[in-house]
């Protein structure tokens, strides 16, 4: 067998300044990737990936947030490939393009000083790579989260829940678990760890089918009980064939045609409306009992394995909008936080900012307890930093140490039921205990009374004219203001002042060296305080 020829060039460079280009031809090439001369490429060469890979070994002088760009051409058509940063991977896609484009593959990635390994590996392969570029990014621009819900006149309860999610975003992660039967995995975790997750996943999968063996009120009853304990309910809907010709929701098992959503006279459309009305009735019971719900319908649509994704983007997007209109405007439901579950390359499927409060990603990577920071940054960038993002389902979930180290601000994590929760192949009991013991992970016993929750943020009020970042840190924080800063004051949890500074200008760094770990409040010119946490 003929061996693949590898070009072995180690690329080592110190990054300095605002941005730095790394030429592809100086990377380590393997598996058929080849260096090609070109007068139009930077440095006079590019790399034809073919079916191979490129490896860059770089050294960063300082810890910072970075955007990573790939100067790339895709002359052979649409291609999808992998960018791997220190073992964490993300898929990037290129449309047919014979000329080079500067593709922003990663944004706001926190990288420590020192050595890093960057790889471009084949999914489809067959793109041309000119260079990659690292650009330092201002972390103050990382988030611009929507402060209001998409539902008009939302209930007080759902506003309080959203504010709670908002206030903890990037400061804590909310623990969760999916259930199959009533509270099965919650009970297992309580028995084996002594604690319960703050969020429980529920499903309307069996509802509205007339099953004699199932009580359709079970998901709602569980949501009510958990809310009474200050817990959060996230409800999805494995929506079975609306025509009831089968009991299936997988595309392979039903021929239900979602494209009929465009024909209001069709039997399919009428069946979908009937099902939506029935589920709306179950949600209305929760609204009447003043229970807010994280609502996650039509999940994983672009994967195509569910009937609501079987006919492409347009009918699925239409069905989401029909459901939103029917539930919100017809049934007057105002207790829902609407969550879109993203799949790769589904931008055309997205219902629109006016229909979505948050965005989830279902990540199943067996034994991988990394922070999934590249997925996080991709989603944050994709939705303009406006939508909180979450791990709405998982197999193996991130280790809390990795979440903190990488600054991956997922709102919550929720492993699926059964083996994903209970088996060490996916998540060991020791990891569950570690998560539940961490100050960064919220468990049920640490939840506030959501009925009376008072926001610690400025939601609905005049925005601050200053920024404090990061809010979860080791030694220092940055304070940036639109105007000259007169004083920066730091208070401990008891409200006792522990530090006062009088900086010059509109920016300063505040050191917490020697201060114990814990929560502090930072005031700029005696404006309302910002809560920060020293690790």
Confidence at residue 463, expressed as pLDDT on a 0 to 100 scale: 45
Say whether both 364 and 222 belong to one domain: yes
Cα–Cα distance for residue pair 379/382, rounded to 1 Å: 5
Say whether both 230 and 364 belong to one domain: yes
Cα–Cα distance for residue pair 116/126, rounded to 1 Å: 25
Confidence at residue 102, expressed as pLDDT on a 0 to 100 scale: 95
Say whether both 106 and 238 belong to one domain: no
Per residue in 98-116, is it b (16+ CB within 10 Å) or e — as a string? eebeebebbbbbbbeeeeb
Say whether both 61 and 84 belong to one domain: yes
Confidence at residue 372, expressed as pLDDT on a 0 to 100 scale: 95
Q: Is 452 within a domain?
A: no
Rg of the chain over all Cα atoms, to the nearest angstrom: 25
Given 141, 174, 190, the domain boundary residue is 141
Query: Nearest Cα to 31, choosing from 49, 58, 13?
Result: 49
Given 79, 113, 141, the domain boundary residue is 141
User: For the chain, what percent of residues have pLDDT higher than 90?
Assistant: 75
Given 141, 167, 202, the domain boundary residue is 141
Q: Is 453 within a domain?
A: no
CATH of the domain at 82: 2.60.120.260
Beta pairing partners, 424: none
CB 96 within 8 A of CB 75: yes
Cα–Cα distance for residue pair 271/422, rounded to 1 Å: 38
DSSP 123-165: SS---EEEEEEEEEE-GGGS-----S-SSSS--HHHHHHHHHH
Q: Is 92 within a domain?
A: yes
Confidence at residue 464, expressed as pLDDT on a 0 to 100 scale: 55
Say whether both 34 and 160 belong to one domain: no
HSE (CB half, 13 Å, CA atoms) of 114? 4
Cα–Cα distance for residue pair 292/155, rounded to 1 Å: 8
Q: Which residues of the chain have pLDDT under 50?
A: 1-17, 458-463
Say whether both 491 and 438 belong to one domain: no
300 part of the active site: yes
Say whether both 200 and 269 belong to one domain: yes
Confidence at residue 527, expressed as pLDDT on a 0 to 100 scale: 66
Q: Which of 23, 25, 185, 300 is catalytic?
A: 300
In this structure, the number of other CB atoms found within 10 A of the CB of residue 460 comes to 10
HSE (CB half, 13 Å, CA atoms) of 129? 38
Say whether both 176 and 116 belong to one domain: no
CB 469 within 8 A of CB 453: no
Say whether both 134 and 161 belong to one domain: no
Cα–Cα distance for residue pair 534/516, rounded to 1 Å: 8
Say whether both 271 and 343 belong to one domain: yes
Beta pairing partners, 60: 15, 114
Q: Is 148 within a domain?
A: no
**Phi, psi angles (nearest 5°) of residue 467:** -130, 145
Q: Is 508 within a domain?
A: yes
Q: Is 495 within a domain?
A: yes
Q: Is 269 within a domain?
A: yes
Domain that holds residue 474: 466-534
Q: How many domains does the chain have?
A: 3
Asked if the peptide bond before residue 407 counts as cis, ω within 30 degrees of 0, the response is: no
CB 522 within 8 A of CB 532: yes
Q: Which of 393, 461, 475, 528 is catalytic?
A: 393
Label residue 318 exposed, middle or buried (CB < 10 Å: 0-12, 13-18, 19+): middle
Cα–Cα distance for residue pair 436/61, rounded to 1 Å: 35
Query: Nearest Cα to 239, choosing from 220, 226, 253, 225?
Result: 253
In this structure, the number of other CB atoms found within 10 A of the CB of residue 16 comes to 10
Label residue 481 exposed, middle or buried (CB < 10 Å: 0-12, 13-18, 19+): buried
267 part of the active site: no
Say whether both 437 and 354 belong to one domain: yes
Q: Which residue's entry shows tokens 């260079």? A: 131
Q: Which two tokens stand for residue 226?
A: 């958990």
Q: Could you read off the pLDDT of 436-484 as tens digits, one per residue?
A: 999 999 999 999 999 999 886 644 444 456 778 777 677 899 888 877 8
Rounded to two decimals, the pTM is 0.77
Cα–Cα distance for residue pair 66/406, rounded to 1 Å: 12
Say whether both 408 and 480 belong to one domain: no
Confidence at residue 357, expressed as pLDDT on a 0 to 100 scale: 98
SS3 string, 218-269, reads HHHHHHHHHHHCCCEEEEECCCCCCCCCCCCCEHHHCCCCHHHHHCCCCHHH
Confidence at residue 497, expressed as pLDDT on a 0 to 100 scale: 84
Q: Which residue's entry shows tokens 């939103």? A: 324
Cα–Cα distance for residue pair 55/58, rounded to 1 Å: 10
């Amino acid at each position: 067998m003929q061996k693949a020829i590898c070009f072995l060039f180690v690329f080592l460079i110190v990054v300095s300044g605002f941005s730095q280009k790394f030429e592809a031809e100086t990377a380590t090439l393997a598996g058929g990737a080849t260096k090609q001369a070109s007068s139009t490429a930077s440095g006079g060469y590019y790399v034809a990936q073919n079916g191979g890979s490129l490896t860059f070994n770089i050294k960063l002088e300082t810890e910072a947030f970075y955007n990573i760009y790939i100067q790339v051409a895709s002359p052979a058509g649409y291609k999808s490939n992998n960018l791997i940063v220190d073992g964490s991977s993300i898929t990037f896609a290129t449309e047919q393009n014979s000329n080079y484009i500067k593709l922003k593959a990663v944004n706001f990635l926190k990288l420590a000083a020192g050595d890093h390994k960057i790889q471009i590996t084949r999914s489809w392969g067959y793109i041309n790579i000119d260079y990659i570029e690292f650009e330092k990014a201002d972390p103050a621009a990382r988030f611009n989260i929507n402060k209001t819900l998409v539902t008009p006149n939302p209930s007080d309860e759902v506003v309080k829940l959203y504010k709670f999610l908002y206030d903890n975003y990037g400061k804590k992660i909310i623990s969760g678990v999916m259930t199959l039967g009533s509270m099965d995995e919650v009970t297992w975790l309580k028995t084996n760890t002594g604690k319960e997750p703050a969020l429980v996943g529920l499903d309307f999968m069996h509802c509205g089918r007339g099953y004699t063996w199932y009580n359709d009120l079970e998901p709602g009853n569980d949501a009510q009980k958990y809310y009474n304990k200050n817990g959060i309910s996230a409800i999805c809907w494995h929506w079975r064939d609306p025509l009831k010709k089968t009991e299936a929701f997988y595309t392979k098992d039903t021929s239900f045609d979602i494209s009929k959503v465009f024909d209001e006279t069709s039997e399919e459309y009428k069946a979908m409306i009937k099902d939506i009305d029935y589920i709306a009735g179950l949600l209305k019971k929760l609204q009447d009992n003043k229970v807010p719900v994280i609502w996650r319908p039509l999940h994983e649509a672009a994967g195509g394995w569910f009937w609501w994704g079987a006919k492409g983007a347009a009918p699925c997007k239409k069905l989401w909008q029909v459901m939103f209109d029917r539930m919100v405007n017809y049934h007057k439901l105002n207790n829902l936080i609407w969550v879109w579950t993203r799949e790769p390359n589904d931008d055309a499927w997205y219902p629109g900012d006016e229909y979505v409060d948050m965005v989830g990603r279902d990540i199943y990577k067996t034994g991988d307890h990394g922070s999934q920071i590249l997925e996080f940054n991709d989603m944050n960038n994709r939705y303009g930093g406006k939508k909180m993002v979450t791990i709405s389902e998982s197999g193996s979930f991130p280790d809390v140490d990795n979440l903190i180290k990488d600054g991956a601000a997922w709102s919550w994590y929720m492993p699926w039921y059964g083996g994903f929760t209970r088996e060490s192949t996916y998540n060991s009991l020791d990891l569950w205990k570690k998560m539940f013991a961490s100050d960064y992970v919220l468990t049920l016993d640490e939840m506030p009374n959501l009925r009376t929750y008072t926001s610690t943020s400025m939601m609905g009020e005049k925005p601050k004219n200053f920024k404090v970042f990061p809010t979860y840190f080791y030694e220092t924080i940055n304070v940036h203001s639109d105007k000259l800063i007169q004083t920066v004051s730091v208070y401990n949890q008891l409200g006792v002042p522990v530090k006062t500074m009088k900086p010059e200008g509109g920016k300063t760094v505040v050191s917490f060296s020697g201060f114990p770990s814990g929560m502090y409040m930072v005031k700029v010119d005696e404006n309302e305080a910002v809560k920060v946490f020293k690790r």
